[in-house]
Structures are given as C-alpha cells and as structure tokens.
Amino acid sequence: MVDLTVIILTKNETVNLRKCIESFHGCARRFVVVDSYSTDATEALCRELAAELQAAGMSLDFYQHSFVDYSTQLNWGLNNTSIQTEWTMRMDADEELTDELAQEIDLCLSSVCPPVNGIILRRRMYFMGRWIKHGGRYPELLLRVFRTGKALCEMKIMDEHMILTEGTTMTFRSDLIDNNQKAIDWWINKHNWYSSREVLDYQRLRAERREDTAVALSMSSKQARTKRIIKEKGYYRLPRFFRSHVYFLYRYYVRLGFLDGTEGRIYHFLQAYWYRFLVDTKMYECDKKGIEMGQQGDLK
C-alpha cells in the first residue's frame, strides 16, 4: 500500500464511483470524496465503501461542499480535508486505473525521489464502450499524482489542469481509463453545460487580454501546454462556425478518427463538430445580444 490519498469530486456518481475506487486494488491508503450535494445514492454508497475499505486497512472520508467550478471545488478539497499522506492523486469518478497502472503505482511511486514532485499519467478514453484510439485522443497526458502540498488546480473555468508549484515531473508507462457508464443523454447535457462554461471562459480571456495563458501550465504536461497555445492562439483566430468544420475534418480524416468505428464516428462528430459549433453559436448569440455569460454552477 502506498502513502497516497486519492481525491474524487462527485455529483450523482453511483454508476461510476465503485469501479473507480475498486480499480486501485488496495494500493491507496485513503480516499477523499468531495460531493456537491448529490441527489442520488452517492452518499450512501460512500458509507458502504468506507466500511469495506476500513476492513481492508484503508479509509474513505466523505465531504460535501457547494460547487462553483471544478478548480475551486478541487482546491477546496486539497486544502480542507486534512490530507497528510506523502502523495495525492486527482481522479474523476468516471475514471479507473488499469491493472497495470495500479501495480505501477504500488511498486514504483514510493521510490520516486525529489526533485520529482509530479507524475504524469496516460489517459485513454472510452465512448459507448469503445476505446477511442485515434483522432488525436490517445494518449492524453495529464499531471494527476503529486507530492502533497506541491501542486494545485489552476483557476480556469474550462480545461483546468494540475500544476506543480515546485519540482519536476516524470511519466508512468501504464494507462488511466476514462470510461463513463452514463447514457448519451447525460453526455449531451454535460457538453451543453460545458459549452456555456467555455463561452464564459472565452469572454474572460478576451476581457483580460492574456497574452501568454500557457505560462500557468509550465509545470504541467508539455501536451497540455501545447493544446492551450493552439486553442487560444490558433483555433480561436479562425472564423466562427468554419473552425468547427475544419477541426472535425482534421480529427476524423487527418488524425484517422474514422478508424474508431461507429462509436468513433458518433464521438468525433459530437465532440469535434457539434460541441464546437454549439460553443460558436453561444458566442454569436452573446455578441449579438450583448450577453455576459454568468457562472454555471454544477451540472443539473
């Protein structure tokens, strides 16, 4: 067992949370769940899991806190849940470890020495049960494990990343999995919510006229840094509506998204075209009507 605390943010995650926690196979000492007042049985499930983990020499602590945005919620959890283990890990409830990653964390994390304070993980994404290998979606490199007190979540409304406050990073070999079990209605509702958050983030970006928004990511993964630069200095400078069309063609044909089969066709169209077109539509409406997007709160 590693001296590791795993922090998970939840809102109605009964279909995902158990598989997330069980995927660690006992390699983490403590789990912290920060819940934004779920209306399903998430709290009851946490009590059940806490009892099971305690019997195996681990623990799970359940907290509730009102959701403003992901960054605020995660940083609240990092600062207010008495994390005392050497290492901390950020997980989403719909994520899980591969058996290989659980073993790599168990065998290797304790031997990582300073100045390495952060571990970058490779994430693979599943959609409708299929691994999306193409379209530039794999592997997604994310800073997820860090020495306690040496990292925080950057204060962004969208595309927020963990950033180290000091030290360097290394990359583990094995994969983290994003495999949400909820229905497509939930996925569409979530991305409609995301689109409003993205418009708000863009409006603030434009108002602040930030010239180098990638600086904050200097202690995160190089991939995350590159994506931020391309999005803010490349994609946003293309004409609205046209850019979603170009992005889909790039993802689906140039980056071989068509090799992901029927599920991939649905995913790349919805995520690369429909979602980006929806963001542009909301931007257009806001500009036309003089609307300033407000805080979105949690996903309803």
The structural domains of the chain, with segments of one domain joined by +, span 2-178, 184-289
Print burial letters for 105-127: b (CB count within 10 Å at least 16), e (below 16): bbeebeebeeeebbbbbbbbbbb
In the chain, the amino acid numbered 288 is K
**Residue 298 pLDDT grade (very low, low, confident, very high; cuts 50, 70, 90):** confident
Print burial letters for 42-68: b (CB count within 10 Å at least 16), e (below 16): bbebbeebbeebeeeebebbbeebebe
Q: Average of pLDDT values for 239-243?
A: 96
Does residue 177 contact residue 139 with C-beta atoms inside 8 Å? no
Residue 243: pLDDT over 60: yes
Domain covering 2-178, topology = Spore Coat Polysaccharide Biosynthesis Protein SpsA; Chain A (3.90.550)
Give me the long-range contacts of 192-196 (CB less than 8 A, separation at least 24): 192/278, 193/296, 193/299, 193/300, 194/158, 194/275, 195/275, 195/278, 195/279, 195/282, 196/282, 196/293, 196/296
Which of 150, 145, 163 has the alpha carbon at shortest distance from 101? Answer: 145
In the chain, the percentage of residues whose pLDDT exceeds 90 is 83
- CA 153-27-19 angle, to 5 degrees, is 75
Rounded to whole angstroms, the maximal C-alpha distance in the chain is 59
Q: Quote the pTM value.
A: 0.91
Does residue 260 contact residue 134 with C-beta atoms inside 8 Å? yes
Residues 5 and 28: their CA atoms lie apart, in Å, by 6
Residues 241 and 245: their CA atoms lie apart, in Å, by 7
User: Where does residue 257 rank: exposed (0-12), middle (13-18), buried (19+ CB within 10 A)?
Assistant: buried
Region label for 120, one of left (φ > 0), alpha (ψ between -120 and 50) or beta (otherwise): beta
pLDDT tens digits along 21-69: 999 999 999 999 999 999 999 999 999 999 999 999 999 999 999 999 9
Residues 52 and 47: their CA atoms lie apart, in Å, by 9
Residues 158 and 101: their CA atoms lie apart, in Å, by 27
pLDDT recorded at residue 219:
61
pLDDT tens digits along 253-279: 999 999 999 999 999 999 999 999 999
CB atoms within 10 A of CB 9: 22
